[in-house]
Amino acid sequence: MDHNTNQTSLEKYGTLIKGSSKKAKISIETHKVGTKSQKKSAQRKQWQGEWLDQFKPWLIYDDKKVRLFCAYCMHYPHAKCSYSKKGSKNFKMSNLISHAQTQSHRDARNAHVFGKASMQKGLQKMQNIQEESLHNLFKLIAFGSDGCSTMIGKKQGIATLLKKVNPMLTSIHCVAHRTNLAISNMSKKIDYSKKIDMLINSIANHFSSSSNRMQNLRDLQEEFDCEILKMQRIFEIRWLSHHNCIKNVCKSLDALHFALEKERRDLYDFLSTFECIYALHYLADILEKITDLSFMFQRDYVDVTIVHGLVSSTILCIRDEFLDEREIDLNAAQQGIGEFPIIPEYGVKNGYMYAFRSSMKGDMFFGQKVKKDIEGADLQTALDFQFNYAKKLCQSLKKHFVDNCIMHAVKILVPTQHPLHERLLKEYGKIECIKIVDFYGNAKLLENVLIVPIIDGETFKTEFRKFKHHAKVDFAKTSLIEVASMLENNSIWKYAYPNILKVIQIALVQCCNIAICERGFSARTHIKSKWRNRLDIESLDALMTIVIEGKEDYDFSNAMELWKAETNRNLVTQGVLTNLHLDLDIQVIAYR
């Protein structure tokens, strides 16, 4: 009876669907959707504490945000991963299992494991080297690196691990690397600077992709009496490649205008604007100062006490030459050729901006017409870019060269930096002296092991009070290395200032730059190329020693005779080749 009744109701219901209006159908579908959402909400699970043990060690639960995070994906985030930055609200076991099986999670896990293993392995290698040379890490007082997270990471960096063993160790981020980072990080934050970089790379790609275009550019450079230069790409990994690339474009600008007008109209339209030409010459001028600073930091020896002074002087030069915001009156009194506004004088004499002002006649630049606003709107835009770029560059240099290193306090031991007046000398260096004593003159307890101080703190203070007055007489106008030599070689002074001598010696062995390591990598890349990839370690070491430490103007003819005389070798000259670009005569020699 019930079965028939149900069947009858189902038949009525089916009839209703067939014969009902659209509204009835919509209401039925809405009812079905509502039923699914109710089931979905009923199936939603809450946070369960045992998941932490099940998905250990990567699962993290935040009580305040009520979200789930992945420890691996937070350090190595992926765009599509919901467990990395914002966190996930999906409290389902199936979702956690599926996340653990994703490729992004596996990559992040592998990167975390490999990175941690490489840091521990690097520290273990250093410990083994110290043990083999009969030393220990307590005698290690200086550490220099390129600043990568493996080296100076706050938790697992090698420098951090070394400081846990020896708290009197000083770690210095390579000053040449910091200079490059100051430029590259700042340039990414300015839109017009990124456009200039894209333009430079596009020009370099256009000519490098065709040998005919490169030859045509050389012909145009000769015709316009320009220096024969190759257009280069900007690479962030190369220290300050911006300056060389922009400098080459500025020196070949008239030839580039002529070539790109026919071949790449889009590049020509941008390159022929007044704002772009002004920005190129301005960047060539201001980046030259940073390049000079980088070259000083790439020398074989850099005194740790002069780093801050060099950076400060560079910042002052930039402010003096490019940040003098003069009021520009765009009326007729300051109009030049063609009634265009006169370009204000910025930069050094005989610099790139000086050459730009000399070559710009109205709206003509070296005979090429330039898109220029007669009311001076583009000039004002170019000046805004100049001021913004210079300000952020100074801020970036200050940020990357913060005086938080104990080595900056050692400058008080350099007589050339002492004040001349006796009144100022009395109070000079008190704060820095306290910093040095706190770091090197106090014992430190490390895991129930007492680390003895390197110097006697109270004696150092007494020595410094005498030394800064004595320096005016016997050490005037001497550098740090000269003071160390004088104290070491004079028995009386060595007895009078033993603690000062120790601190100076520590400062002299600080690793301020690792440019020699980078030059070693470059030499290895050129020697052990894909054509000579089977060189053994001994041969590679000998060749790298010759390249790095050998003479630049070495007479290879004598070397050939010596090599020939070592054993019975028969040399046969097969021919003479001439390299047109380098003007070198290369003899192809076979031996048997």
The two tokens of residue 332 are: 């007729």
pLDDT at 130: 57
Lay out the sheet containing 364-365: strands in order across.
Answer: 360-361, 364-365, 368-369
CA–CA distance, 257 with 287 (Å, rounded to integer): 23
Distances (CA, A) of 417 to 209, 306, 498: 54, 10, 21
Where does 298-376 have alpha helices with state H? 307-322, 352-359
- Region 26-42: mean pLDDT is 43
Is 543 within a domain?
no
- 121-165 pLDDT, tens digit per residue, is 666 666 666 555 445 677 788 888 888 888 888 877 888 888 888
351 shares its domain with 216: yes
Ramachandran area for residue 477 (φ above 0: left; ψ -120 to 50: alpha; else beta)? left
- Region 30-36: mean pLDDT is 44
More confident residue, 592 or 219: 219
Distances (CA, A) of 385 to 23, 199, 278, 373: 63, 16, 10, 17
Cα-flanking dihedrals φ and ψ of residue 170, to 5°?
-110, 135
DSSP, collapsed to helix, strand or coil, labels residue 548 as helix
Is 525 within a domain?
no
- Region 1-24: mean pLDDT is 40
Distances (CA, A) of 204 to 148, 191, 227, 286, 334: 30, 20, 16, 22, 38
- The residues facing 451 across adjacent strands are 444
DSSP per-residue codes, 29-42: HHHHHHHHHHHHHH
92 shares its domain with 186: no
379 shares its domain with 261: yes
Average pLDDT score over the chain: 80
The two tokens of residue 10 are: 């189902």
39 shares its domain with 50: no
**What's the pTM?**
0.70
Closest CA to 304 of 141, 517, 473: 141
Whether pLDDT at 3 is above 50: no
- Give the single-character DSSP code of 273: B
DSSP, collapsed to helix, strand or coil, labels residue 445 as strand
357 shares its domain with 421: no
239 shares its domain with 382: yes
Is 167 within a domain?
no
More confident residue, 17 or 63: 63
DSSP per-residue codes, 559-570: HHHHHHHHTT--
- The residues facing 170 across adjacent strands are 142
- The residues facing 305 across adjacent strands are none
230 shares its domain with 359: yes
- The residues facing 578 across adjacent strands are 585
Q: Which amino acid is at 241?
A: S
Is 152 within a domain?
no
Classify residue 505 by burial, with Cβ atoms within 10 Å: 0-12, 13-18, 19+: middle
More confident residue, 533 or 587: 533
Contact 454, 506 (CB under 8 A): yes
Q: Strand 142-145 relative to strand 170-173: parallel, antiparallel, unpaired?
A: parallel
Non-local (6+) Cβ contacts of 500 within 8 A are 413, 460, 463, 464, 467, 487
249 shares its domain with 382: yes
Instruction: Give the model's confidence band at 361: pLDDT under 50 very low, under 70 low, under 90 confident, else very high.
Output: confident
Is 148 within a domain?
no
199 shares its domain with 188: yes
Beta strands in 32-146 (DSSP E): 59-62, 67-70, 142-145
Closest CA to 486 of 504, 468, 464, 511: 504
- The residues facing 144 across adjacent strands are 172
Last residue of a domain, one of 400, 418, 442: 400
- 246-294 pLDDT, tens digit per residue, is 999 999 998 999 999 888 999 999 999 999 999 999 999 999 999 999 9
474 shares its domain with 588: no
Is 514 within a domain?
no
Is 341 within a domain?
yes
- Region 532-553: mean pLDDT is 85
Distances (CA, A) of 76 to 70, 73, 394: 10, 5, 31
- Domain residue limits at 426: 406-508
User: How many structural domains comprise the chain?
Assistant: 5
229 shares its domain with 286: yes
Is 540 within a domain?
no
- The residues facing 140 across adjacent strands are none
Q: How many CB atoms lie within 10 A of CB 61?
A: 16
376 shares its domain with 237: yes
pLDDT at 589: 39
